[in-house]
Structure 1
Amino acid sequence: MRKIIHIDMDCFFAAVEMRDNPALKHVPLAIGGSRQSRGVISTCNYPARSYGVRSAMPTGQALKLCPHLTLLHGNMDKYKLASKQIRAIFNRYTEQVEPLSLDEAYLDVSDCKLFNGSATRIAEDIRRSILLETGLTASAGVAPNKFLAKIASDENKPDGLYVITPDKVAEFVKNLQLIKLPGVGAKTAERLSHLGLHNCIDIGNAPLSLLVKHFGALADSLLKRSQGIDERPVCSNEQRKSLGVERTLDHDLLQYTQCVETLSQLLPQLQRRLEQYSSTAAGRLTPIQKVAVKLKFSDFRQTTVEKQGQPLQLDKLLPLLDEAWQRREQQGVRLIGLQIGFKTSALQQLALPF
């Protein structure tokens, strides 16, 4: 039985700014792009969230909800330094650390002998060490697997700890909303709801044929996660899975040729990033598997078209752009993105969510 901890820093970028400037602690604060550049909110503190401000929200919308919002562009070097300090703390407890981003990670502490092997006490000590050494708070979830640990870390936010012991798994997942399962986004949740499936217990009572008919390969994941099953190991290999660039446009693009021009400007940026990554040890061992073009439309719908084995050349990308453009439903384009996906090892393929 594994002992997995998921550590999630509380409003990380905003927390770093509040630590460095205590005057910001009790005012609504967000890190993100400006309204003029049609930026989006990267993260915000809890006073801002009380007004309805959320990550990934357009800055203009956030300022409508909270006109007195303090908006900072942020300092990525400062956030990376804090993340490095936190990562060093993790490594004192286990080598099995899987970073998900600068502010969250999985830790497998199954073999850790500290505190008589108690994952709960280890998680408490990690949170204490982070606060003492960085001045930042972290929330933690402790569970027998990654899926449950990640959900648990959100149960007592901010600055909280939630533990799901093996004997409590069945009871915990029974009434868990399906939208919290990996691979279940808003659209899938809506389709599940139309079939009368809202919580994990509903999946267990549903005919397998119904799940397969409507959700195909996702049916297997729904069945496993609804029972609290997740065999994915914590993967400490930091091989990158993707690399991308994107641009939020000053004005919606209404002509296809304008999208082509923007894509042609993004391509050299992605090529430079790829060259930098390819110069690293991990990059030299990571071949490109697929290329994708992403468009976000005026109504905030977004679509991605990808193709395997595609060269990173403009003439090869245009068919992908054209297909995405056809999905706009007469809307303008507010964001264009370009991404490559790397071929990962067999172990990492197994570690991906279903």
Structure 2
Amino acid sequence: MSKELVTALNALEEEKNIKAEVLVEAIEDALKKAYEKDYNEADNVEVNFDPKKGNIKVYSVKTVVDTVEDENKEVSLKDALAKNKAYELGDEIKFEVTPSDFGRLAAQTAKQIIMQKVREAERDNVYDNFITYQDEIITGEVERQDSRYLYVILPGGQEAAMKPEDQMPNEHYQMGDKIKVLVSVVQNESKGPQVFVSRTHPDLVKRLFEAEVPEVYDGTVEIKAIAREAGDRSKIAVYSHNENLDAVGTMVGQGGARVQAVVNELSGENMDIVEWTEDPVEFVKNALNPAEVVEVLFDPANERGITVLVPDYQLSLAIGKRGQNARLAARLTNYKIDIKPESERDAVIAELEDPERIAAEQAQQAQRADAMKSAD
């Protein structure tokens, strides 16, 4: 058994990058438990494993006392002095008690516990490696798909799972396809590290632009917000920390080259890049691009409520196909946006300023606030 352990120890440290001291500790712990179980001994034993020679020795640790009451745990001062005249009361002495057949009897139990420790160490190594990639882009290879996930092999052979909601609706994945994914979640589970990746997460768009636009990577141009309907359209709000640099133009690139590279990577997903500003009126106007906004009216009864007036002939453009333009603008700005034609301005203002409606809305908000406090 000892030779096999030394061979396994060397192989695991070299091939699996598991530190020798981790395995030695696991081995000693395993053999101690095996000894206590199979030989019905007390817990005052130590097991020493020599990782170079493979020698295994079991020691019973006894305390030096005047009068011995428990021979398994105590040794008389007289016997201790006979062994070494330097011993005093209270000292601990180790006596070797290694059974001749210990290696054979303990092998199976030791192997089970050692393998458990090895799996734990391997799991921690993988977790430590991939947690550094969380929220980053990595290129993987499509391996297979079942009823739950699409499985992608990442560098190093780690398998990652992609949930259905993380798969692009306009993409069809084939075994062997190389795809860029965002490492969205890394979990250290008892059954092994679980790595989840995504093609639909908004941060994938952000990381792709960081790779294509040096000014984004170095922070000169900041991506303030992203609203995304993966596979179809994204709206991105950007801000330049250099007043002489146009944030939107920088993102688009000469001839649209930069934004087109991201669009191509996302299988044709459209990109609306707008300028972010602290002024909510201007930001909402920008977010509703390409529609023209005539006026932005704030709702006095709802702090995050806004009604936007647009030219009648641009109403459908502002709302967008299936409401997408308005929906993405609302998510980008974090405002509840209601779009109305300019011809209804008087009616809209009358409704917004209606005192009964304002009072009712404020009462509802107070009730919601009280309910949240009660829940807390």
* TM-score calculated relative to the size of structure 2: 0.27
Q: TM-score, normalised by structure 1?
A: 0.28
- Answer 1 or 2: higher relative contact order, Cα 8 Å, separation at least 6: 1
Structure number, greater radius of gyration:
2
Whichever structure has more strand as a proportion of its residues is 2
